[in-house]
Amino acid sequence: MAKLRIEIDNDLCNGDGLCVDNCPGKGLGLKEGKAVVVDGERCGECYYCESICPTGAIHVYKEE
Ligand code: SF4
């Protein structure tokens, strides 16, 4: 099974929480005003966080 890696660039994140509010698996959160992965196991691979982020701070990778 492919493993997923979610990378969040702290410098690009503006803390708007769009990814957090819209993650269907509730796998993301905010910590000190920046998006963080709370539980990667909850990720359902929808790539929504990556596409909704206005600053391009999130990238979701699949590792074979
Ligand atoms: S890819 Fe989808 S399920 Fe996974 S962390 Fe992003 S918004 Fe949540």
Domains along the sequence of the chain with CATH: 3-63 (3.30.70.20)
**Ligand 1 site, residue 45, Cβ cutoff 6 A:** yes
- Calculate how far, in angstroms, residue 10's C-alpha sits from the geometric centre of ligand 1: 17
Q: What CA–CA distance (Å, rounded) separates 26 from 41?
A: 10
- Type of residue numbered 29: G
Indicate whether 7 pLDDT > 90: yes
Q: What CA–CA distance (Å, rounded) separates 2 from 31?
A: 28
pLDDT tens figures, 17-50: 999 999 999 999 999 999 999 998 899 989 999 9
Q: Residue 11 corresponds to which tokens in the numbers above?
A: 């410098």
Radius of gyration of the chain (CA): 11
| pTM (predicted TM-score) | 0.88
Mean pLDDT across 54-64 = 91
